[in-house]
Amino acid sequence: MSTIAVEALTKRYGTVTAVSDLSFELAPGRITGFLGPNGAGKSTTIRLLLGLAAPTSGRATINGRPYRELRDPLRRIGALIDPNVFHPGRSGRTALRIAARPARIPGQRVEEVLELVGLGGAAHRRAGGYSQGMRQRLALAAALLGDPETLVLDEPANGLDPEGVHWLRGLLRGLAAEGRTVFVSSHLLAELAQTVDDVVLINHGRLVAAGPMGDLLGRAGAASLEGFFLDATSPDAPPAHPAPTRARSLS
Amino acid sequence: MRSLVSAELLKLRSTRSAWIPLAAALALAVVAVLASTTAAGPDATPHLSPATLPGLLRGSGGQLLDGAVLLCWIVLSAGEFRHRTAVTTFLAEPNRLRVVSAKLIAAALTGAAVGLLAEALGAATSAAALSAHHVPLAWSQPGVLGAVTAVPLLAALFGMLGAGLGLLLRHTAAALGLALMWVFVIEGIIPALTHEPGIIRWLPEAAANAVLHGASPAATTLPAGAALAVLAGYAAVLAGAGAALTVRREIGTTTG
């Protein structure tokens, strides 16, 4: 069974359609890049997947269930959707302890993930004094708290220095090698090209392309992921998938 | 539910702007007794006597304590949206009704605990001060039990009012402003605006006073039991409205 399935997902805000009839599936053990220009609907799709917003129609599921129906969700799916979700007056350690408590995740695991993301020495400091890169690492630590089988990461490399980006790439590769599903949204195409196995590309809320990166680039005759992205999202580009669109399984 | 309540209490302990008002209210519980007993004496006005004790205990709670608990839970519940910690809260427990319930339980527990602590501090200070004035201590008089019961009960309800108001408005400054405006302006002018002087007894501050001090001889307040029910009704309405909106509203992020 795919870990994440998005089925005919649509989200409208008044007259604006943020996500339109979007469908794709992800399989375990793969890193999938979620691409699209600004305003394409990536963050909205992720918020719909995580139950932070309700779809107008369609559904997004994790192991067959909407996020809001998951029991112990932190142990199923870890999410980094915003590095600025920590109270500035609380220490990094306390922020994670608060996040861990509803799932009964022990304090030892909090210390493990703090060390894993390189914040062990700064865990006692207030999150308000963290750099953006440190907040990003803290958010990543929160995503890893429950040792989940699926990770959803929205712009995880934002604010990281080159060493941090290199470290993140290794971490994601390692997580996928353990059989986990990793879903990464990012604008850093050169970085993504070194990391992802598969690609889901959306524009104007609709699916443009989905599949293994090598296949997509080969079919499009593109030399790079950036070239493929620019061609596929240019105003002159023909629709890659006539509506209604449905990505084939990426497994 | 226990782990959710525990998480909410950890949020309280780790948020200075939430617990400092509580600490200040506890300090004032002692100061209120000292101020009353220092200014008074056996031959002065007010006259210190065994019957003074219930009044001293009520003075250790009352508006300041209720206001501190209200402020604390407005800061905590509205702060979830101000600081976007609601994202991590609802990712950890996507059943929002359970989260809201945990907040309300934690708010009530906080109020009850702080109310009991204020009464304990007030009782200890009263005992020392009255003994210093050679006034016998009459713990078994009816007013003592009433004060020791009413103060934690009121503080628990005000905690729930604060949590509900914070969830409803999701804006700390707006919720605090509305609460202050209500206490100092709105509740006072409602009888004039409605041309119904008797309506005041049904309003929250008057109801809280009636719970703490009992019905006035002029019958301008409700009996304590009815006033408590009215206040519980306000807490239930605010909490219910806050819960309904929290379940329906989308949770935003800074990234889109």
pLDDT in the model for residue A247? 40
Inter-chain touch A50–B256, beta carbons under 8 Å: no
Residue B169 counted as domain residue: yes
Please check whether residue A153 touches B, CB under 8 A. Answer: no
pTM of the model: 0.85
For residue B68, give how far its alpha carbon lies from the nearest alpha carbon of chain A (Å).
20
Q: Give the rounded percent of residues in chain A with a pLDDT score beyond 70.
A: 93
pLDDT at B256 over 50: no
ipTM for the whole complex: 0.83
Residue-range domain boundaries for chain A: 1-76+151-251, 86-147
Query: Which CATH topology does A1-76+151-251 take?
Result: Rossmann fold (3.40.50)
pLDDT at B137 over 90: no
Please check whether residue B254 touches A, CB under 8 A. Answer: yes
Q: For the stretch A164-174, what's the b/e string if a residue is b when 16 or more beta carbons lie within 10 angstroms of its beta carbon?
A: bbeebbebbee
Across A153-172, average pLDDT = 86
Model confidence at A239, pLDDT cuts 50, 70, 90, reads low
Contact B49, B141 (CB under 8 A): no
pLDDT in the model for residue B167? 92
Beta bridge partner(s), residue A5? A25, A61
- Max Cα separation, chain A? 54
- Which token pair is A58? 């369609």
Contacts of A232 (CB under 8 A, 6+ apart): A201, A203, A208, A209, A220, A240
Nearest to B87 among A43, A85, A98 (CB): A85
Please check whether residue A6 touches B, CB under 8 A. Answer: no
What residues of chain B, 88 to 117, have a C-beta less than 8 Å from chain A?
88, 90-95
Beta bridge partner(s), residue A59? A7
Angle (nearest 5°) at CA A117 between A111 and A118: 85
- Which token pair is A222? 């593109």
Q: Which of A43, A22, A11, A5 is closest to A206 using CA atoms? A: A22
Residue with tokens 């945990």: B102
pLDDT in the model for residue A249? 40
pLDDT in the model for residue A71? 85
What is the residue-averaged pLDDT of chain B?
Answer: 86
pLDDT at B52 over 90: no
pLDDT in the model for residue B217? 59
pLDDT digits (tens, 9 = 90+) for B202-236: 888 888 888 787 766 555 778 888 888 988 999 89
Angle (nearest 5°) at CA B62 between B60 and B66: 115
Q: Enumerate the residues of chain A whose CB falls inside 8 A of the CB of residue B14.
A: 87, 89-91, 94, 98
Inter-chain touch B93–A102, beta carbons under 8 Å: yes
Q: Which of B91, B100, B246 to mutate to test the interface with A (most CBs of A within 10 A)?
A: B91
Residue with tokens 């060493």: A163
pLDDT in the model for residue B78? 92
Inter-chain touch A154–B16, beta carbons under 8 Å: no
Model confidence at B253, pLDDT cuts 50, 70, 90, reads low
pLDDT digits (tens, 9 = 90+) for B12-33: 999 988 899 999 999 988 888 8
Name the more confident of A147 and B196: A147
Contacts of A122 (CB under 8 A, 6+ apart): A92, A130, A134
Please check whether residue A140 touches B, CB under 8 A. Answer: no
For residue B238, give how far its alpha carbon lies from the nearest alpha carbon of chain A (Å).
23
Please check whether residue A71 touches B, CB under 8 A. Answer: no
Q: How many residues does chain B have?
A: 256
For residue A218, give how far its alpha carbon lies from the nearest alpha carbon of chain B (Å).
32
φ/ψ bin of A202: left (φ > 0), alpha (ψ from -120 to 50), beta (otherwise): beta
The residue range of the domain holding B174 is: 2-248
Contact A231, A209 (CB under 8 A): no
Domain count, chain B: 1
